[in-house]
Amino acid sequence: MNEIVMNGLEKTIYEEKLGNGLEIIYVPYEDKNNYIITYGVRFGSEITEFTPFKSSKSQKVPAGIAHFLEHKMFEQETGEDPFTFFSKTGTSANASTSYTNTKYFCYGTKNFEENLEYLINFVNSPYYTDENVEKEKGIIAEEIKMYADIPDWKLDAKLKECIYKIYPRRVDIAGKVSDIEKITKEDLYLCYKNFYVPNNMFIIISGNFNKDAASKIIHTKLDSKKSKTLPVVKNYKEIIEVNKKYLELESDVNVPKVGIGLKIYRKDLSIKEEYYLDLYLEMFKTILFGSSSEFREYARVNNLTSSFGTEWETADKFKTLLITSNTTNPDLFIEKIKSLLLNHEIREEDFNRIKKVWIASEVKIIDYIEATESNIYDDILSYHKIYNDRVDIIRNMSLETLNKLIKQIDFNNISVVKMISKKE
């Protein structure tokens, strides 16, 4: 078990890897009374076509299968509902699927060892039948239909369709109803057996727990699991340009909505280490659109937005900045965003101020097990390593590097979706 000292944060975490490749991260806290156990797998909605090891035949599965599989993991052959089990032990549990991964987790204040063992058991006990798969189709179809009627959901879906031409990110995580209807138990077992393998999974435990006891349980339950050479996932030749520059649609909204997506080709950017690149892109976004930015002040004074959100996402060979807003003046909002992207000014005082805020945030976050677990999960998933020198990295960020990066971005490569009220 290796020690990882989080520099400048007075925290030590522990890492070990089983012989089969399963990675385990322990983040013990003596001054807390709760814990979180997360069991993650690098299998998300973007994987819909792959070639298994020692096979020459590519396997194509319906969109939405990763999310469907996550749902079905909670149906056990014993008939016991994992949610009921965790509830009886005074613990909460849940799961989630994203474009890139699926995770199962439980959190509570007692029965740690019992819950860890159970979580491992049920994630490693798939049980799919024709009957339970058919039953789940109706449940997930209703979920898809419900979200499809939500304007914010529709805006996000249409924006990604405009950004990506063929990459699976343009399809919702849950898929479409027509996709769900095609899923079979054979499809689920195919995906489970190829991706739910130790060398493609990891466990993170954070909070008040005995790490030696946790390690013993994990070794006892999972040492015998075999690693497996992972499938070759289809390489999509996504176009560099956005798929569609502009889309206007009508919906049941009282206030118009706008979505703007800036699509950046990763190879055009000189910063090679992904974590550093993500930090600099986040710095750019924060300076332009953060809560203390000039744009946000302008928007407040002129009542331009009633809600506003920005985020970066990584999709294969691309970095994409997503901007969404409710606005009474969508055309002015679009004009302002375009102008700001093309004619921005990065002041050194803003750059240094945000660095100080980020460093203070890192120091604060380490005291919260949920936030720390989330940071570590993102590191393991996105970068395959834990960055224990975050404070030093932030402190050493330079404005020169940021300005060089910005010059490499084509700010004209954007998609705009405008959602307006239905005409009477």
Run of H or E residues at 312 = strand 307-315
Catalytic sites, residue numbers: 70
Helix, strand and coil content of the chain, in percent to the nearest 5, comes to: 40, 20, 35
Q: CB-side exposure of 339: number of CA atoms within 13 Å?
A: 7
d(CA 295, CA 291): 9
Alpha-carbon distances, residue 119 vs 15, 98, 126, 415 (angstroms): 20, 20, 13, 42
Under DSSP, the state recorded for 231 is P
Distance CA 45, CA 102 (A): 9
Angle at 400 between CA 308 and CA 344, to 5 degrees: 35
Q: How far is residue 266 from each of residues 101, 217, 314, 387, measured CA to CA in Å?
A: 21, 41, 9, 21
Task: Write out the two tokens for 389.
Answer: 């020198």
Q: Answer whether 200's CB lies under 8 Å from 230's CB.
A: yes
Contact criterion met (CB below 8 Å) for 28 and 15: no
Beta carbons within 8 Å of 186's beta carbon, 6+ residues apart: none
Between CA 245 and CA 262 the distance in angstroms is: 10
Identity of residue 315? A
C-alpha to C-alpha distance for 66 and 200, rounded to whole angstroms: 14
Q: Is 79 left (phi over 0), alpha (psi -120 to 50) or beta?
A: left
* Token pair in block for residue 276: 């550093």
Q: Distance between CA 416 and CA 159 in Å, rounded?
A: 7
Cα torsion 174, 258, 165, 178 to 10°: value is 30
